[in-house]
Chains A and B, each alone.
Chain A
């Protein structure tokens, strides 16, 4: 039982990270119906930027916000420069362009930072040692990750539901044509969506870097888990993405331990199984809206 709880705690912490990246995917999918295959690599590259700041002697609590601002700006730039021209192109073209993003950031990181893993520090003020409650060890960093996720969700909720900007963002995503008629600058709203998504992805990268090592491929696996999370939660539901993320984190942690065949090597198979199962049984995901199609 102790082990089980321990696994759930670790799985939830990992799941929060999957959820964050899934959130980024969902924010973009909701507004533009694009699945951004480059999302994970953009997050990875942001994490490297953050590492560069830290390496240059900057403090954690300065480097991270700075990185997020840069990631936000980069997300906007990517949408404005690369995505917008193909926004109305066939799906294949868009998939290819986002794959181009994947390849580009991946190889750029390898080029600039080499493949040698870099150590990434815990946030200043979060201690390494764990607390012991009964037989269970609680790692402070896991709580920190959870807190960050909750805070971010709350902030996004307030942004989307309580501000005029959020209303514009939602309107542009739901009804681009009508939004344009009422004077919403839809293009900028979509770009902002990409900015927010890039920042959310960057948070996911920065949070997971201390746990796994920072190297150019470290987000690739996380991206697949996040895809599974978003699929499970529903590609058009931000809370679904987070719940899906936590679920996937736990499925992977528990499946890896209790299903002998899976072990630690085949955890990715679990993601594949979840993706295929969900798409077969309930394509819209747990929280997504089922779209009834009329022929």
Chain B
């Protein structure tokens, strides 16, 4: 058995249907389907190489799956260009940090609002009044996020050279500033120590409440995933092997076999 089908009543904000993605001969994702229920935290877990980050890259259109569909509400994400995805209200962070090292922390976060602002090149060159108003709104939104995540001391500092934990927070701020409907977090606990991880768990829950956002979480840290996720999807070798509440998944024999003792 082992396969638990999703249906817990609430509407799905994101539906992944039969996604298959190959790199040459290597099948990275093999017919994966799952739903991300609105307003919930969904954990996506699996051993190394299971295809978690690949799934993220497919959702944000950095990769193009060979077959399958990804629906965000009524929009088919696979029909979009990568830069159009954030405009739907999808933000993400990266596993290996993808900040803009030469820009200041503040500018990094400002770029996060790119998809939410409109100033075109001509209006901006002439700095038409509405562009000025838009910039002021940008500043307010950025200020709010900077204060929320405690980045004020670093705001004028270039991103390069800051400690790892701070960089992770900057990435989170850059994703949050766009007020996304769906937030994709790729290994937010990677590289953090024990206390930082528990603080992160609280932060992620708080973000969900405060910004009213649905969260899809890829994470290695089993303790974190199991404690904050409403539902969990387990991938192994590109296939979905289980889905359910954390408790259901923890007891699933397939999952136990896949992890073979790994876990906490």
Contacts and interface: CB of A to CB of B under 8 A. Distances in A.
In-complex A–B contact (CB below 8 Å)? yes
Interface of A: 292, 294-295
A295 B64 CA distance: 12
Interface of B: 23-24, 57, 62-63
A3 B63 CA distance: 53
Contacts of A292: 24
A295 B53 CA distance: 11
A155 to B, nearest CB: 38
Contacts of B62: 295
Nearest to A295: B62
A88 to B, nearest CB: 15
A90 to B, nearest CB: 10
A294 B26 CA distance: 13
Contacts of A295: 57, 62-63
A290 to B, nearest CB: 12
Nearest to B63: A295
3 smallest CB-CB distances across A and B, nearest first, come from: A295-B62, A295-B57, A295-B63
A295 B186 CA distance: 14
A294 B21 CA distance: 14
Contacts of B63: 295
A180 to B, nearest CB: 25
Nearest to B94: A295
A113 B23 CA distance: 58
A246 B63 CA distance: 39
B52 to A, nearest CB: 15
Contacts of B23: 294
B195 to A, nearest CB: 33
Nearest to A294: B23
A205 B63 CA distance: 47
A295 B23 CA distance: 12
A65 B57 CA distance: 57
B49 to A, nearest CB: 13
Contacts of A294: 23
5 contacts: A292-B24, A294-B23, A295-B57, A295-B62, A295-B63
A294 B63 CA distance: 9
A292 B63 CA distance: 13
A289 to B, nearest CB: 15
A285 to B, nearest CB: 21
A292 to B, nearest CB: 8
B57 to A, nearest CB: 7
